[in-house]
Structure 1
Amino acid sequence: MPRGTLEVVLISAKGLEGNDFLSSIDPYVILTYKSQEHKSSVQEGAGSNPQWNETFLFTVSDSASELNLKIMEKDNFTNDDNIGEVVIHLDAVLEEGSLPETTYNIVKDQKFCGEIKVALTFTAERNIERSYNADDEIIGGWQQSARDY
């Protein structure tokens, strides 16, 4: 499994179905990769077609291969409502390095609840191997100590 940084660009959503009949919805997204979690800004009054254009970074270090997006509706007087969720499998972006803007279906209880657009980029961690060099021992190594006697 590669190690590195996953960059998630949360672009927009459309067709969101909220629970507030009298007012437009104020959507936001909770992005989760393993135990790492980020929350987007709340798009107040954006209704069913919010625009975020926000970037989030996750550290990839083991075999977890899913990014979860939970689309929420901000409520002022009650608990926030879950609009729906998206599970993005990361195998392709970990292999290719990036995926362009892609639209994913938002689902709740196996029902279509809108679409969300996301772009993904994976930057692999570089392993820098240091080779042995005999000259390194001259500076502060055993050769310098031996010369002092």
Structure 2
Amino acid sequence: MPRGTLEVILISAKGIDDNDFLSSIDPYVILTYRTQEHKSTVQEDSGSKPQWNESFLFTVSDSTSELNLKIMDKDNFTQDDFLGEATIDLGPLFEAGSLPETVHKVVKDEEYCGEIKVALTFTAERNEEQEYSVEDENYGGWKESNEEF
């Protein structure tokens, strides 16, 4: 069961549907892992190619292995519009430790509607049990080097 810190670097998106009538969309992203939620800054008038370059931290304490990225369009006088979302499987990240900048499909109503680019890092929590064990004493330590003499 992985425990530690998940760092999400939200880089950019492209191909997002620019559906605002009189101006460009003002996209932002709601990042959700379990019950933890973060919100990116709003990229005003950035249209279908917003750039964020923001970092977000989540606490990982169980085997939940999905990160959800919901792209929204900030509206001043009406409810914000849902533009699409990407769900990222974190299983490979927990094994590898980090995943470089990767493009993920953004979907709305089960149809492709753009891409979002993120980089991910998982830092496992170290506890006292992991730091030292009696077995470690048998490898490469004083006992082993002493046997040669």
Q: TM-score, normalised by structure 1?
A: 0.85
Give 1:52-131 correspondences, 5 Å limit: 52-129=52-129
SS in structure 2 of the partner of residue 41 of structure 1: coil
Alignment check: 8 A CA contact 1:27 1:42 kept: yes
**Structure 1 segments of 4+ aligned residues over 2 angstroms from their partners:** none
Give 1:21-40 correspondences, 5 Å limit: 21-40=21-40
- Structure 2, unmatched stretches of 5+, are 133-149
RMSD: 1.3
Q: TM-score, normalised by structure 2?
A: 0.85
Q: Which residue of 2 aligns with 1:4?
A: 4
- Structure 1, unmatched stretches of 5+, are 132-149
Q: Which residue of 1 aligns with 2:136?
A: none
The structure with the larger Rg is 1
How far apart in 2 are the matches of 1:18 and 1:126? 45
How far apart in 1 are the matches of 2:105 and 2:128? 40
Residues matched between the structures, number = 131
